[in-house]
Amino acid sequence: MEANLLEVKHLRTHFKTEDGVVPSVNGVSFSVAKGETLAIVGESGCGKSVTSLSIMGLVAPPGEVVGGEIWLEGQNLLALSKKELRKLRGNKLSMIFQEPMTSLNPVFTIGNQLGEVFRQHRQMDKKEARAHSIEMLDHVGIPNAEKIVDSFPHQLSGGMRQRVMIAMALACNPALLIADEPTTALDVTIQAQILELLKKLNKEFQTGVILITHDLGVVAEMADRVVVMYAGEVVEQADVFSLFAEPKHPYTKGLLGSLPKLDENREELDSIPGSVPNPLDMPDGCAFHPRCPAATEECKQNKPQLQEVALNHLARCFYA
């Protein structure tokens, strides 16, 4: 296990809302090795972001991590004090967010926001921080970094901002980078740029990456291994090739089938009927059974466990 950079065990994060407790992340386990890219896919609201925020220690009230362990290089993050955790953030552990448009503070310059990281974690003075910021911007392929460093976020395009976010996340050479839908808000051609960049940096720095997305195309392109989530749980986990070649869980199968593909013409797409269950009102048994074409009585009554169905291929289904 020492090879594993990050080990998440039975993570449970709940939101106590007015209408009841939302178990957004409900016993999720996975691991990321050094230099590995792990993709987490799943539909909106299945708990991807909450999982990543839990790792970062940034779950805001009314949310709360209520169980599990998160081990990063031998340290249980959940056992750390706030201060210790803060020192890890932006340093060993960093994150980029979905919305490059809103993730940068509009009233400070790029250099200011980027330099902050160096000043906080590397105790640099303003000048050094600036120099390093320019270097970092260069690194993520921002042309004219000397000038950009003094501009404000709104003067940059979405793609540029996402690069700034990446520069910021990689500033302290983190061991683990969490990218929460880093390209969803971007256009296709810009998305391609960013994905290429991430690939390159991943190779260069040997950073462990958790890539969160709902785009299976991006997963196929980028990931080494894949975790599929549904309603706060992991339903399938495998290396990227076996997952696409032989999906075991009906949800994964459904997802793959419902995608229109560029290289084939079908009159009609497969589709998963219904929609994601209300987290406050989870069905008994297998959470997917109301939408599952192959559901049986057993699925309605008992909850399947995540089990190894093939070598290094886990699935949460009685019939996988």
Ligand X SMILES: Nc1ncnc2c1ncn2[C@@H]1O[C@H](COP(=O)(O)OP(=O)(O)OP(=O)(O)O)[C@@H](O)[C@H]1O
Question: Of the candidates 86, 128, 131, 318, which one interacts with another protein according to CB under 8 A?
Answer: 86
Judged by DSSP in three states, 11 sits in strand
User: What is the contact mask toward another protein in residues 236 to 275, using x (rule: CB under 8 A)?
Assistant: ----xx--xx--------xxx-xxxxxx-xxxxxxxxxxx
Residues 132-161 that bind another protein (CB under 8 A): 152, 154-155, 157, 159-160
Residues 156-195 that bind another protein (CB under 8 A): 157, 159-160, 165, 168, 187-193, 195
Residues 35-54 that bind Mg ion (CB under 5 A): 49
User: What is the contact mask toward ligand X in residues 201 to 240, using x (rule: CB under 6 A)?
Assistant: -------------x--------------------------
Judged by DSSP in three states, 179 sits in strand
Please identify, using beta-carbon distances, which residue of 29 and 239 lies nearer to another protein.
239
What are the CA-CA distances from residue 227 to residues 124, 153, 198, 279 (Å)?
39, 33, 19, 20
User: What is the contact mask toward ligand X in residues 14 to 33, using x (rule: CB under 6 A)?
Assistant: -x-x----x-x---------
Helical H segments across 158-225, by residue range? 158-170, 188-205, 216-222
104 binds, among Mg ion, another protein, ligand X, none (CB under 5 to 8 A by kind): another protein
DSSP 51-83: HHHHHHT-PPTTEEEEEEEEEETTEEGGGS-HH
Question: Of the candidates 4, 31, 37, 49, which one interacts with ligand X according to CB under 6 A?
Answer: 49
DSSP 279-304: TTSPPSSSTTGGG-TT--HHHHHSPP
Residue 10 falls in which region: left (phi positive, over 0), alpha (psi -120 to 50) or beta: left
Under a CB-based contact definition with an 8 Å cutoff, are residues 166 and 142 in contact?
A: no
Residues 260-279 that bind ligand X (CB under 6 A): 279
Name every residue whose Cβ is closer than 8 Å to that of residue 144 and which is 6 or more positions away in sequence.
none
Residues 212-241 that bind another protein (CB under 8 A): 214-221, 223, 240-241
Residues 124-153 that bind ligand X (CB under 6 A): none
How far apart (Å, rounded) are the C-alpha atoms in residues 242 and 50?
27
# chain residues binding ligand X, by CB under 6 A? 16
